Chains A and B, each alone.
Chain A
Amino acid sequence: MRLRNILLMLALSAVAALGLAACGGGDDEDEGTTTAATEGASVSFTEPTDGATTASTVTADVEVSGFEIDAAAVGKANEEGKGHLHFSMDGGKYDYPKYSGANGKLAEKLGVEGQYSPSTEPTITYKGLPRGEHTLEVDLVNNDHSETGTSATTTFEVTSSGSSGNGAKSDSAY
C-alpha cells in the first residue's frame, strides 16, 4: 500500500515536471527583440467616450489592466508587462506644450512633439482644441518607447469652449 502511494506520487511529480517544461519555452525567442511580452494587457478610454461631445479642454482617462506603468523605468531596458503610455491627438497634431501641457513639454524635450505626448499616468488633459471631430489614441509602450501593440482610440467632437471631463490633469513625466 505504502509502495503504491510512493509510486503514484513519483508519477504525478513526473507529469508536473513535464508540464512546467512545456510552459517554459519562452527562452527560445529571438534575442534583441524590441517588444516585451504584454500578454493579457488591455487599455480602454473611460473619458471621453466614443461619440461624446466636449468643450475645448478635454481630460481623457484610460483604464489599464495587465500592464504596470513604471515611471522610473522609462528609457531603460524593457521589462515584461511594464512601460508607460503615449497619447496621440489627431495623429500628433495637438501633441505640443500649447495643447497637452506638461506632457507636451516633455514631448518637446524628447524631440517627439507633433507625434505623441508621453505619460506615466492614465490621464491627460488637452487644452484649446478647435471645434470639430478629434481622435485620441493611447498606446501601451515599452520602457524604450517601442509599441507593445496594445492601444485604444476614442473619437469625440468639440462643440464649445471651456472644460470637459473630470478636471484632473497629468503633470507626469514621460
Chain B
Amino acid sequence: MTLAVRDLAVRFGGVTALDGVSFDVRAGTITSLIGPNGAGKTTAFNAITGYLRPSGGRVTYDDAPLTGLRPCDVARRGIVRTFQKTSVFPALTVTDNVMIGLHLRGTSGLAAILAGARRVLEEERSLRGRAGEIIALVGLEHRRDHVASALPYGEQRLVELAVALAARPRVLLLDEPAAGMTGVEKDTVSRLIRTIRGLDITVFLVEHDMRLVMGISDVVIVLNHGRVIAEGAPAEIQTHPEVIRAYLGTGGGAAGR
C-alpha cells in the first residue's frame, strides 16, 4: 500500500523540472514534500496523478503502475489530488460540489436514470446523506446551500478538501492546502489533515508553511532543483545541512507566503 516513485523525470524542452526523483509515501503516514520555489513539487504531483506525462521513471501504488494512466483512472485507484490554485466548481452550491466529488461512489447507469428507477432515487438520497457528512467533517454545514464562488477564500479551500475527500481517496495529495490562509485557518487545516489520516487515508502534501509541515508530518522529503536532497523525520530535516543550504542559498524560500 505504498505510493512508490522511482527515477521520475520531467523535462520541458531543455528545462529539467524533475531529474530522476525517487521516494516512497508509506501507508498511514502524513508525508510532506518541501523545497524552494521551482524545486519541482507541483510537477511531481502532476506527474504522479496523470496530469503530466513524465519523460522517464515510474510511479506505482500497491505495486500496480500509475504511470500512463489518465487522471480519472488514477483517481479510480484511490489517488486523489487537490490543486495549488483554488479549484472548486464555482457556480454550484457546496452540496453540489461535494456531490460531484462522490461521482465514483454512484453506480446508476444511463438506462436506469432515464427510466427513473427507484434504486436511482435511493442512491441519490444516500449520496446526499454522505455529502452532508463530508461537509460537516470540514465544518461547512452552515454553507451547504451557498454557491462556492461566493464563499471567502479560506472556506473555498475547505470545499476543495471536501470534494477530494468525497472521491474516497486512499492517498490524498494536497497541493499547498494552507497557502494564503490566516493563522487560525491554518490551525483548522492541520487539525483536519490529522483527522483525515485518522480515517485511514494517507496524506501526501506540498506546503510552504514550515510550522505546519514540521508540526504534522511523519516524513519530510526535500526537493531542490528537481532532486531529492533529504528525507527523514521533521527533526532530522530541520538540522540537515544540505536543506539549510538549499533554503538560505536561494533567498529564503522557507518564509513561505
Are A and B physically bound partners?
no
